[in-house]
Amino acid sequence: MSTGSGRAGSGKRDAGSDVVQNGRSRPQAEESSMENGRSSDHADDGRVRIFDTTLRDGEQAPGCTMTLEEKVAVAHQLARLKVDVIEAGFPAASEGDWTAVNQIAREVGGLYGPDICGLARAKERDIDLCWTAVEPAANARIHIVLATSDLHMKHKLGMTRAQVVAAVAAAVSHACSLGGQVEFSAEDAVRTDPQFLYEVLTAALDCGATTLNVPDTVGYSTPDEYGALVSGVRANVPGIERATVSAHCHDDLGLAVANSLAAARAGARQVECTINGIGERAGNAALEEFVMALHTRGQFFGLHTSIETRALARTSRLVSQCTGVPVPPNKAIVGANAFAHEAGIHQDGVLKNRLTYEIMSAETVGWDGVGLVLGKHSGRHALRVKTEALGYELTDDELSRVFAQFKELADRKKLVDEQDIHGLLFPFVAGSLQLQLESKA
Ligand code: KIV
Ligand code: ZN
């Protein structure tokens, strides 16, 4: 036996990927028209802006709290991932939240970096605190939220429709008077009377909001309905072409990514999502899934994002480490098994041509060192490739002997990991060392 190097099946191209991801967005002043000193990103180049709310909607989920240092580290990584907007927190919620948003605005919100956003209720105090926190960013955004469904207005807010319209107009006008961009979210938009939703969004637009968000706050919608809602907003809010329509979906029915994709097809050009899909209750739309759906099925969607897909796996791991919330092994894109092939037929096919069982490559999402998982279904071919990847070159006879031992082990253990393979090969390594020593003596 001799040692050598070699990596298993490292085809680079994604099977379905036909849209080349473009580079980082330029400063807004270059890519958007400016109105009243605020940018309005309405030119449709098929790019869907990624608004990451891991640090706000994600962090407010049970068990996902992060320290200041962790939030800042995640924000830097999100900038490397090239998200368009980072919602860094809810500054009025606590001093700690304000400090985190402010530090992220100062450290991460450079001219070529992402927009930095903070959440505010439709209250002057919230909006003022939000503005002081995000102001240091080159591109700062105030995100105002007020519920518009009858259910929320009656039972939560105790407000009439007229009071809600007036509050939205006042809040958006006040935020616009401070500076930066203003986004308005009609909380529980999905369960809002559509005519009233159009009225509220029209008021927000007329007062200067440049992003109008229609959240599925409770994860109730389905792709057809949610796409129709976005189309309805685009058709019924006069002047909507001056604004970006945004989607924000929760995953209570497991449809958050599907609904976000339907919204993008219907003309939403901002999608709000989180890394690993963390967020309130069942979570938000998973950023990595939405992005890779557009990337891999570019021809079908005719849309793209500016995300640096090779940073996805690393970002996922960082968020998991910081929140302490593990990523399930079968999680799409970033789960440990997402690119692992164990069945013998699959492994053989992938080793001959990765496109047989892979629609995108592990490299595209930044997985390094993952690949074949060996188990009782794995064949000789897979074992050969794995041992070579670990630096061993076996003769056919040696491979047959190791394979027999491997099968025995795989029957007892569910998965045979790299340590096990090293263990199986140890006698061969020791034997060849012995031979070398003997020949030197
Ligand atoms: O789910 C929701 O409605 C929200 C808003 C703040 C956008 O998170
Ligand atoms: Zn939400």
- What pLDDT is recorded for position 432? 57
- Residues 100 and 244 placed together within one structural domain of the fold: yes
pLDDT interval class at 430 (50, 70, 90): low
**Distance, CA of 136 to CA of 139 (rounded, Å):** 8
Residue 183, both tokens: 């986004």
Q: Among 259, 291, 323, where does a domain finish?
A: 323
Ligand closest to Cα of 187 equals 1
Kindly state the average pLDDT of the residues 221-247: 98
Q: 366 to each of 52, 317, 337, 339, 417, how far by Cα in Å?
A: 19, 11, 14, 11, 21
Among candidate residues 195, 105, 108, the one with its CA nearest the CA of residue 148: 195
Whole-number Å distance, alpha carbon 54 to ligand 2 midpoint, is: 10
Our answer on whether the CB atom of 92 is closer than 6 Å to any ligand 1 atom is no
Count CB neighbours of 15 within 10 A: 16
Q: Which of 68-82, 207-221, 323-337 has the lowest mean pLDDT?
A: 323-337
**Surface-to-core class of residue 120, CB atoms within 10 Å of its CB (0-12 exposed, 13-18 middle, 19+ buried):** buried
Is residue 23 pLDDT above 70, yes or no? no
- What pLDDT is recorded for position 26? 35
Candidate of 185, 188, 190, 284 to mutate for ligand 1, largest count of ligand atoms within 8 Å of Cβ = 185
Residue 7 lies in a domain: no
- Residues 37 and 81 placed together within one structural domain of the fold: no
Kindly state the average pLDDT of the residues 11-16: 38
Among candidate residues 291, 287, 293, 259, the one with its CA nearest the CA of residue 272: 287
Q: Which residue has a Cα nearest atom 1 of ligand 1?
A: 217
- Residues 283 and 423 placed together within one structural domain of the fold: no
Ligand closest to Cα of 214 equals 1
Our answer on whether the CB atom of 215 is closer than 6 Å to any ligand 1 atom is yes
User: Does residue 429 or residue 118 have the better pLDDT?
Assistant: 118
Q: Which residue has a Cα nearest atom 4 of ligand 1?
A: 217
Q: Tokens 């927009």 appear where?
A: 115
Residue 333 lies in a domain: no
Backbone angles phi, psi at 247, to 5 degrees: -110, 145
- Residues 152 and 167 placed together within one structural domain of the fold: yes
Element (H, E) at 220: none
Q: 39 to each of 126, 274, 294, 332, how far by Cα in Å?
A: 23, 24, 25, 35
Q: Among 291, 323, 355, where does a domain finish?
A: 323
Residue 2 lies in a domain: no
**Distance, CA of 403 to CA of 60 (rounded, Å):** 50
Count CB neighbours of 321 within 10 A: 13
Q: Which residue has a Cα nearest atom 8 of ligand 1?
A: 57
- Residues 393 and 353 placed together within one structural domain of the fold: yes
Q: Which of 167-171, 249-253, 335-339, 419-423 has the lowest mean pLDDT?
A: 419-423
The answer to whether 346 touches 357, Cβ cutoff 8 Å, is yes
Question: Which atom of ligand 1 has the smallest separation from the CA of 187?
Answer: 3
Average pLDDT of the chain to the nearest whole number: 87
The answer to whether 24 touches 112, Cβ cutoff 8 Å, is yes
Kindly report whether the global pTM for this prediction surpasses the value 0.85.
no
Tell me the pLDDT tens digit for each residue of 262-275: 999 999 999 999 99
- What pLDDT is recorded for position 339? 85
- Residues 83 and 231 placed together within one structural domain of the fold: yes
Tell me the pLDDT tens digit for each residue of 140-163: 999 999 999 999 999 999 999 999
Q: List the domain range (segments joined by +) for residue 412.
A: 340-440
Our answer on whether the CB atom of 57 is closer than 6 Å to any ligand 1 atom is yes
Is residue 74 pLDDT above 60, yes or no? yes
In 3-state terms, what secondary structure has residue 153? helix
The answer to whether 200 touches 148, Cβ cutoff 8 Å, is yes
Residue 6 lies in a domain: no
Residue 214 lies in a domain: yes
The maximal CA–CA distance of the chain, rounded, in angstroms, is 96
**131 CB-near residues (< 8 Å, 6+ apart):** 140, 142, 175, 178, 179, 180
Question: Which atom of ligand 1 has the smallest separation from the CA of 53?
Answer: 8
**Distance, CA of 35 to CA of 207 (rounded, Å):** 12
Long-range CB contacts (within 8 A, 24+) of 430-436 = 431/1, 432/1, 432/2
Is residue 435 pLDDT above 60, yes or no? no
Whole-number Å distance, alpha carbon 283 to ligand 2 midpoint, is: 8
Candidate of 187, 190, 220 to mutate for ligand 1, largest count of ligand atoms within 8 Å of Cβ = 187
Question: Which atom of ligand 1 has the smallest separation from the CA of 56?
Answer: 8
Among candidate residues 122, 188, 127, 126, the one with its CA nearest the CA of residue 155: 188
Our answer on whether the CB atom of 217 is closer than 6 Å to any ligand 1 atom is yes
Among candidate residues 318, 218, 284, 214, the one with its CA nearest the CA of residue 53: 284
- Residues 239 and 344 placed together within one structural domain of the fold: no
Residues in the chain: 441
Residue 61 lies in a domain: yes
Tell me the pLDDT tens digit for each residue of 305-328: 999 999 999 899 899 989 999 999
Whole-number Å distance, alpha carbon 33 to ligand 1 midpoint, is: 27
Residue 102, both tokens: 């402010």
Residue 329 lies in a domain: no
The answer to whether 195 touches 229, Cβ cutoff 8 Å, is no
Kindly state the average pLDDT of the residues 380-408: 86
Q: Tokens 């616009």 appear where?
A: 176
- What pLDDT is recorded for position 62? 87
- What pLDDT is recorded for position 372? 60
DSSP codes joined into one string, 69-86: HHHHHHHHHHHHHT-SEE
Whole-number Å distance, alpha carbon 228 to ligand 1 midpoint, is: 19
β 140-147/38-40 pair status? unpaired
Report the CATH number at residue 173.
3.20.20.70
Q: Among 323, 348, 377, where does a domain finish?
A: 323
- What pLDDT is recorded for position 39? 40
Q: Tokens 């509220």 appear where?
A: 200
Whole-number Å distance, alpha carbon 248 to ligand 1 midpoint, is: 7
Q: How far is CA 394 from the centre of its chain?
A: 42
- Residues 350 and 247 placed together within one structural domain of the fold: no
- What pLDDT is recorded for position 378? 83
**Distance, CA of 289 to CA of 333 (rounded, Å):** 6
**Distance, CA of 120 to CA of 176 (rounded, Å):** 13
- Residues 362 and 288 placed together within one structural domain of the fold: no
- Residues 253 and 356 placed together within one structural domain of the fold: no
Q: Which residue has a Cα nearest atom 6 of ligand 1?
A: 145
Percent of the chain with pLDDT over 90: 68
Q: Which residue has a Cα nearest atom 2 of ligand 1?
A: 217
Whole-number Å distance, alpha carbon 284 to ligand 2 midpoint, is: 7
Whole-number Å distance, alpha carbon 93 to ligand 1 midpoint, is: 15
Our answer on whether the CB atom of 187 is closer than 6 Å to any ligand 1 atom is yes
- Residues 170 and 267 placed together within one structural domain of the fold: yes
- Residues 413 and 316 placed together within one structural domain of the fold: no
State how many domains the chain has: 3
Kindly state the average pLDDT of the residues 388-403: 86
Our answer on whether the CB atom of 185 is closer than 6 Å to any ligand 1 atom is yes
Q: Which of 212-221, 266-275, 393-402 has the lowest mean pLDDT?
A: 393-402
Whole-number Å distance, alpha carbon 437 to ligand 1 midpoint, is: 69
pLDDT interval class at 431 (50, 70, 90): low
Residue 177 lies in a domain: yes
